[in-house]
Amino acid sequence: MNISRTDVKSQDKNDPLASMAKAFHLPENMIYLDGNSLGAMPVAVVERIQQLVTKEWAEDLIHSWNDNNWFRLAESIGDKIAKLIGAESGEVIVSDCVSVNLFKLVVAALKKQKGRKKIVTELGNFPTNAYVLQGIAKMFDGQVEIVAVERSRLEQAIDDDTAVVVLVHAHYKSSEMFDMEAITNLAHDKGALILWDLCHSAGAMPIELSALNVDMAVGCGYKYLNGGPGAPAFLYIAKKLQSSLEQPISGWWGHDNPFTFSEDYIPAPDIRQAQSGTQSVLGLAALEVGIDTALVADLKDVRDKSQKLGKLFIQLVQQNCPDIQIASPEEDDKRGSHVSIQHEQGYAVTRALADRGVVVDFRAPDVIRFGFAPLYTSYENIWDTVEHLTAIIQDGSWDKEEYKQKATVT
Amino acid sequence: MNISRTDVKSQDKNDPLASMAKAFHLPENMIYLDGNSLGAMPVAVVERIQQLVTKEWAEDLIHSWNDNNWFRLAESIGDKIAKLIGAESGEVIVSDCVSVNLFKLVVAALKKQKGRKKIVTELGNFPTNAYVLQGIAKMFDGQVEIVAVERSRLEQAIDDDTAVVVLVHAHYKSSEMFDMEAITNLAHDKGALILWDLCHSAGAMPIELSALNVDMAVGCGYKYLNGGPGAPAFLYIAKKLQSSLEQPISGWWGHDNPFTFSEDYIPAPDIRQAQSGTQSVLGLAALEVGIDTALVADLKDVRDKSQKLGKLFIQLVQQNCPDIQIASPEEDDKRGSHVSIQHEQGYAVTRALADRGVVVDFRAPDVIRFGFAPLYTSYENIWDTVEHLTAIIQDGSWDKEEYKQKATVT
């Protein structure tokens, strides 16, 4: 039996997270399904940033490092993120961008795993991971080998010469998720360290880093954590590894006591060691609001809704545009919080949807991603989106030259 | 003949930069002499950040990457900074923090200078430089040697085995400046590359990177550029070196065409290559306001006033507290934009001054820095400051237990 708009409205009525949407600013006449790229603005950001700028910076100036606790922000926000990813207090810190954090942790892992020269990763996942690993291999002049394989060949690829396995938890295009527990154990069985990139999962589902004995992780602040454009990233190092993993960008913020201005670097004996230099306090403050907003919701409810939104989208697409190829797993537990479809003119379709107020994104060469942010996406949003998608596919209105002219950022 | 307050007031009257102060928010009842650590807030920041948050993020969301030019911000702000440091358009980009930028450039320099293993630097300058170099040496397992020497022994230390010379242009404690031209030539004569850290000079004086044939530079956005707490940093690579210097943190933002999502890293053939990941757009936006504000002033006026402010401070201290040891050069052309004094209980003196509304900072073990930001520091500020300093030194009111309890950030 076909799903009706009435069915969908009743899902919204029964949604335990329905009241969360009002914590976000959502533009009128827009269905925003790109929170997997840039999360919507939590309403409380406006006041927090105003206070930061007009009071803490303008009035309190340098005293804010102590008096407004700027100095410990990266740690205190890290502790809040820890709650979202199943880590302990003191295992997570906010720092730099994901690429820099990947670099720091992978180099640290290679040092710790001296004698092992392989880095195993997945072929075709988010490019920055591949690029950062390539840069590391080049830097170490052939002493390091990158083994990038299809997902199905991972088990075979991880061997006794593997120093570290670097994987993106939920695929940036297909949304397909790894079984974190199985792969972590696989790596450990071979004596390899595991590093999970949580960019497309943190904030959208429960994650259990400590319980699964994960060694390292990185993640992004501006997607499901709603920290704002280019929000600082985070990294996680399991407590048991903090004394033996030494990251290479040893700037003064990683020093155990930076304000002694000593000549020699003495790394902090804890997660602070992962820091390098001063971080954007504006970026940190906005991120904290995003995290505080996320912490209000139960992550089990978030995951449950995320799966239902994805399932509803897939069912409605199959019901209304059966020719469209779904490029994400149909099994709810194998899928992250976005669903992708394939279309050979995907970019033009994305633009045509935008003209109808539906914001999604395109990933070359032919993927359109529909991102569902359970804190502010409604079931009716999904209904309306598929209605628009069906219309432009059926009437061919996406097929215009103006829609095919690519912008810099797709 | 002693200097009088009337003399000082007439200096303010004749100051061509006097009108610049109104572009900044300066707290009432405070003399802020710590712009060398955190610059004051340009008034225009409030509106710009509000627009960024409530319009560009909240309303335009992901479209802002193209429509509000977020994607090119790091380059366009870099081009503006280039004007302040005598670089060409396309030679400067905003990215990461100073420590990360130092790391990137020094590793790139070592690769380019294969066969040379020494990094020459100054002993006792800003710790992050020493720490980052130590981290690099450790990462390369003894293939790199750090030669850290007193300023007077630099010439001797730079030799045919020197890959790169890394120096802070104006000393963070003493304010003593290097002769950039002489040292750059010295390095080049030996075939070494030169990297200048402009943290304590950019924005406070004319700098001529291109004219002096400087290879690389890094600098900070939150001091004399008034970009806000933890503002993103910048880096400079001379055009002639951009095709041969490859920085190691090759994230997707350094790719020539990041939105093709290709499997292999192809570095951008220009300064964009120095980028790694997504930067804080809030941080970038505030920094841009700081730079725009700085660009209004003529840097020759800025340097002239900076030297006069420093000279006035030194003269007034010598006139009123002759026992105080000046820890900065008395020659105007050898001094940056702050003047330091030494006091064995410097921290307590700093706290006592703060209680009188004079904000300066302490650098262990015994240095008090008085920072003069020519865009908003007045000559009368100097008069009043020395009056307060004289009072607390003469009546010993700094000598209290409460003033000796150190805060985390000094």
Quick check: helix, strand or coil at residue B371? strand
Q: Provide the shortest C-alpha distance from residue A315 to chain B (in Å).
A: 27
Q: Show residues of chain B in contact with A136, CB under 8 Å.
A: 248
Interface of A with B in 36-75 (CB under 8 A): 37-38, 40-41, 45-46, 49-50, 53-54, 56-59, 61-66, 70-72
Residues B188 and B265 in one domain: yes
Judged by CB atoms closer than 8 Å, whether chains meet at B248 and A54 is answered as no
Q: Is A115 left (phi over 0), alpha (psi -120 to 50) or beta?
A: left
Selecting from B127, B139, B249 the residue whose C-beta is nearest the C-beta of A262 gives B127
- A126 annotated active-site: yes
Position B410 scores a pLDDT of 81
Q: Is residue B119 part of a domain?
A: yes
Q: Show residues of chain A in contact with B248, CB under 8 Å.
A: 103, 135-136, 138-139
Check if B131 contacts A (Cβ < 8 Å).
Answer: yes
Q: Is residue B48 part of a domain?
A: no
Whether A113 shows a pLDDT value over 90: the answer reads yes
Q: Provide the shortest C-alpha distance from residue A4 to chain B (in Å).
A: 30
Selecting from B65, B97, B252 the residue whose C-beta is nearest the C-beta of A127 gives B252
Residue B365, preceding bond cis, omega within 30 degrees? yes
pLDDT band at residue A407 under the 50/70/90 scheme: confident
Q: Among A296, A325, A347, where does a domain finish? A: A296
Residues A25 and A83 in one domain: no
Nearest to B186 by CA among B144, B217, B157, B223: B157
Domain count, chain A: 2
Residues A271 and A127 in one domain: yes
Q: For the beta carbon of residue B353, count every other beta carbon within 10 angstroms.
A: 24
Instruction: Find, in chain A, the residue whose alpha carbon is nearest to that of B172.
Output: A261
d(CA B338, CA B175): 6
Q: Are B370 and B346 in contact (CB under 8 A)?
A: no
Q: Is residue A50 part of a domain?
A: no
Q: Show residues of chain A in contact with B45, CB under 8 Å.
A: 53, 57
pTM score, two decimals? Answer: 0.98
Position A253 scores a pLDDT of 96
Instruction: Find, in chain B, the residue whose alpha carbon is nearest to that of A56.
Output: B229
pLDDT more than 70, % of chain A: 100
d(CA B393, CA B348): 11
Which of A167-181, A394-408, B11-25 is the least confident region?
Answer: A394-408
Position B268 scores a pLDDT of 96
Judged by CB atoms closer than 8 Å, whether chains meet at B57 and A229 is answered as yes
Residues A147 and A225 in one domain: yes
Selecting from A132, A265, A359 the residue whose C-beta is nearest the C-beta of B250 gives A132
pLDDT band at residue A187 under the 50/70/90 scheme: very high
Chain segment B93-108, per-residue pLDDT in tens: 999 999 999 999 999 9
CATH value at residue B326: 3.90.1150.10
Q: Is residue A273 part of a domain?
A: yes
Distances (CA, A) of B117 to A124, A138, B40, B43: 37, 18, 41, 48
**What ipTM score was computed for the predicted complex, to two decimals?**
0.97
Q: Average pLDDT for residues B286-293, to the nearest whole number?
A: 98
Q: Is residue A206 part of a domain?
A: yes
Position A408 scores a pLDDT of 84
Token pair recorded at residue A359: 């914001």
d(CA A242, CA A92): 11
CB pairs under 8 A between A and B: 299
Distances (CA, A) of A15 to A12, A133, A314, A332, B142: 5, 42, 19, 18, 60
d(CA A230, CA A223): 10
The strand ranges marked E within A61-215 are 92-94, 118-122, 145-149, 162-168, 193-197
Pick from B250, B359, B408 the residue to mutate for testing the A interface (most A CBs within 10 Å): B250
Judged by CB atoms closer than 8 Å, whether chains meet at B64 and A286 is answered as no
d(CA B120, CA B310): 30
Q: Provide the shortest C-alpha distance from residue B152 to chain A (in Å).
A: 18
Chain segment A331-368, per-residue pLDDT in tens: 999 999 999 999 999 999 999 999 999 999 999 999 99
Q: Average pLDDT for residues A156-162, to the nearest whole number?
A: 98
Nearest to A388 by CA among A351, A338, A344, A345: A351
Reading across the β-sheet that carries A216-219, which strands appear in turn? A92-94, A234-237, A216-219, A193-197, A162-168, A118-122, A145-149
Residues B111 and B199 in one domain: yes
pLDDT band at residue A204 under the 50/70/90 scheme: very high
CATH value at residue B91: 3.40.640.10
Chain segment A269-279, per-residue pLDDT in tens: 999 999 999 99
Q: Provide the shortest C-alpha distance from residue A59 to chain B (in Å).
A: 5
Residues B141 and B273 in one domain: yes
Residues A287 and A142 in one domain: yes
Quick check: helix, strand or coil at residue A92? strand
Per residue, what are the HEC states of B157-189? HCCCCEEEEEEECECCCCCEECCHHHHHHHHHH
Q: Is residue A54 part of a domain?
A: no
Position B406 scores a pLDDT of 87
Q: Among B261, B296, B331, where does a domain finish? A: B296
Chain segment B229-269, per-residue pLDDT in tens: 999 999 999 999 999 999 999 999 999 999 988 999 999 99
- A222 annotated active-site: yes
Q: Average pLDDT for residues B61-72, to the nearest whole number?
A: 97
Q: Provide the shortest C-alpha distance from residue B360 to chain A (in Å).
A: 9
The strand ranges marked E within B264-354 are 325-326, 338-342
Annotated active-site residue in A15, A197, A215, A366? A197
Position A154 scores a pLDDT of 97
pLDDT more than 90, % of chain A: 96
Judged by CB atoms closer than 8 Å, whether chains meet at A250 and B100 is answered as no
Q: Is residue B47 part of a domain?
A: no
Judged by CB atoms closer than 8 Å, whether chains meet at B222 and A41 is answered as no
Question: Domain range spanning residue B388?
Answer: 5-42+298-404
Judged by CB atoms closer than 8 Å, whether chains meet at A280 and B45 is answered as no
Annotated active-site residue in B104, B272, B305, B369? B369
Interface of B with A in 287-346 (CB under 8 A): none
Higher-pLDDT residue of A6 and A409 is: A6
Selecting from A30, A248, A409 the residue whose C-beta is nearest the C-beta of B65 gives A409
Judged by CB atoms closer than 8 Å, whether chains meet at A222 and B263 is answered as no
d(CA B187, CA B120): 10
Nearest to A302 by CA among A11, A13, A17: A17
d(CA B235, CA B191): 22
d(CA B362, CA B347): 6
Q: Average pLDDT for residues B205-232, to the nearest whole number?
A: 98
Position A410 scores a pLDDT of 81
Q: Is residue B245 part of a domain?
A: yes
Selecting from A56, A62, A96 the residue whose C-beta is nearest the C-beta of B96 gives A96
Quick check: helix, strand or coil at residue A261? coil
Residues A273 and A178 in one domain: yes
Q: Which residues on adjacent β-strands are paired with residue B140?
A: none
Q: Among A247, A272, A296, where does a domain finish? A: A296
Residues B376 and B390 in one domain: yes
Pick from A37, A67, A71, A97 the residue to mutate for testing the B interface (most B CBs within 10 Å): A97
Q: Are B109 and B216 in contact (CB under 8 A)?
A: yes
Whether A95 shows a pLDDT value over 80: the answer reads yes
Q: Provide the shortest C-alpha distance from residue B1 to chain A (in Å).
A: 37
- Round the average pLDDT of chain A to a whole number and report it: 97
Residues B334 and B367 in one domain: yes
Q: Show residues of chain A in contact with B49, CB under 8 Å.
A: 49, 53, 282
Pick from B45, B52, B56, B61 the residue to mutate for testing the A interface (most A CBs within 10 Å): B61
Distances (CA, A) of A381 to A31, A338, A371, A389: 6, 14, 11, 12
Q: Are B385 and B370 in contact (CB under 8 A)?
A: yes
Q: For the beta carbon of residue B312, count every other beta carbon within 10 angstroms.
A: 21
Q: Which residues on adjacent β-strands are paired with residue A31?
A: A358
Nearest 5°: the CA angle A62, A65, A71 is 150
Pick from A278, A287, A359, A406 the residue to mutate for testing the B interface (most B CBs within 10 Å): A278
d(CA B105, CA A140): 16
What phi and psi values does residue A66 have, to the nearest 5 degrees?
A: -90, -55
Residues A320 and A261 in one domain: no
Q: Average pLDDT for residues B159-186, to the nearest whole number?
A: 98
Residues B223 and B270 in one domain: yes
Q: Average pLDDT for residues B305-314, to the nearest whole number?
A: 98
- B369 annotated active-site: yes
Amino acid at B81: I
The strand ranges marked E within A52-207 are 92-94, 118-122, 145-149, 162-168, 193-197
- B222 annotated active-site: yes
Token pair recorded at residue B113: 């200078």
Pick from A131, A245, A279 the residue to mutate for testing the B interface (most B CBs within 10 Å): A131
Position B192 scores a pLDDT of 98
Q: Show residues of chain A in contact with B283, CB under 8 Å.
A: 230, 280, 282-283
List all residues 6 or more positions away from A353 whose beta carbon is below 8 Å from its beta carbon.
Answer: A359, A360, A368, A385, A388, A389, A392, A398
pLDDT band at residue B1 under the 50/70/90 scheme: confident
H or E element, residue B370: strand B367-371
Position B264 scores a pLDDT of 92
Check if B269 contacts A (Cβ < 8 Å).
Answer: no
d(CA B28, CA B367): 26
Interface of A with B in 148-207 (CB under 8 A): 148
Check if B410 contacts A (Cβ < 8 Å).
Answer: yes
pLDDT band at residue A122 under the 50/70/90 scheme: very high
Selecting from B50, B66, B276 the residue whose C-beta is nearest the C-beta of A408 gives B66
Instruction: Find, in chain A, the residue whose alpha carbon is nearest to that of B366.
Output: A260
Check if A268 contacts B (Cβ < 8 Å).
Answer: no
Selecting from B37, B49, B64 the residue whose C-beta is nearest the C-beta of A62 gives B37
Check if A25 contacts B (Cβ < 8 Å).
Answer: yes
